Amino acid sequence: MELSEMVRSLGKKRVAVVGEIMLDRYLWGSVERISPEAPIPVMRLDETEERLGGAGCVVNNLLTFGAEVMPVSVLGADSQGEKLLAILREKGVSVESILTEEDRPTIVKTRMIGYVQSAHRATQHILRLDEERRERIKEETERHLCKFVEDAIR
């Protein structure tokens, strides 16, 4: 049996995805010189792309296979969190089981990718900038997440 046949035979499954949903931001640009201030590439920004990252990537992949997905996660109460919620809603995903914490920033991973040859034939990952806090979520938030998971299992 081919992989595509196996995937189609799965039917419409309901899947809970528990994990950190983050915003993946890509900054694409042209690199044509080295900075005179330090031995680093200078990138001229051409394009910005934002998409689901972390557990959000899993959500997106499951949607592609036709699954009904319930993401269970915690975001910051900030503009990046709102952007992620908007992306999920746009894809038809219920965001009822995604919680926010006021003093916790949404995780954002920004990648700077430069075109390093003429005609944009080759790219180089220049830098990744991680905006995150590595402390545990609040106990109350954890209890709510566990409740979402328990309800999903039922």
- How far the first Cα of the chain sits from its last, in Å, is 32
Backbone angles phi, psi at 2, to 5 degrees: -75, 155
Asked if 104 contacts 140 with a C-beta cutoff of 8 angstroms, the reply is no
Higher-scoring residue by pLDDT: 80, 6: 80
Q: What is the pLDDT of residues 28-52, one digit of tens each?
A: 999 888 999 999 889 999 999 999 9
Burial (0-12, 13-18, 19+ Cβ within 10 Å), 70? buried
Q: Where residue 10 falls among pLDDT bands split at 50, 70, 90?
A: low
Q: Where residue 11 falls among pLDDT bands split at 50, 70, 90?
A: low
**pTM assigned to the model:** 0.85
54 pLDDT more than 90: yes
